[in-house]
Amino acid sequence: MPPELLFQLHLVLGYVAWLLCFRVYVWPRLKSMDPFKAQRAIATLHSFRFFGLVFILPGVVSPQLPASFAVFAAYGDFATGVLAMLALLTARIRALFWLFVVTFNLAGATDLILDYYHAMQSDLPARAGELGAMYAIPVIYVPVLMITHVSAFYLLLRPQPRAAPSY
């Protein structure tokens, strides 16, 4: 099987597996949670995105990994991770927390979309072996990140039930 087909198959199956898992185990819980707690859980997952800096770590990925993909992906993940950590650190200041929640989700989703674009522009699927040990990031980790960004946006935009006035 050609490397680009194998990579694309892995990517699609990564989404399928995470969507199946998410639908059964994660989504029902997130939907039932208080919006603040649900967003805090999503921010906790995304706070680990600093790990994306590994795309520019010599010896872990091939030096031939296109810089147009690696550098943007590394710093986009790093920025998103820092913003998610700031959301968690400001949880007691609700206005700041919500600002960082919106910001890290916008930055993170934009980063992933642009990473897909850069990957296609640099023909990453055909060069997937240059990811080395980090091959797992786009096929296992990225799908759950994108799914949680979409979920976070849904939770942010859905109407919140109003508490009944107490007399």
CA angle 50, 54, 58 (to 5 degrees): 150
pLDDT tens digits, residue range 88-122? Answer: 999 999 999 999 999 999 999 999 999 999 999 99
Q: Domain locations in the chain?
A: 3-157
Instruction: Enumerate residue ranges in the chain where pLDDT < 70.
Output: 161-167
pTM: 0.91
The CA distance from 129 to 142, in Å, is 17
Which residues are CB-neighbours of 144 under 8 A, at least 6 positions away?
A: 18, 22, 45
Instruction: Single out the residue of 139, 137, 152, 143 nearest to residue 27, CA to CA.
Output: 152
Let me know how long the chain is.
Answer: 167
The CA distance from 52 to 163, in Å, is 41
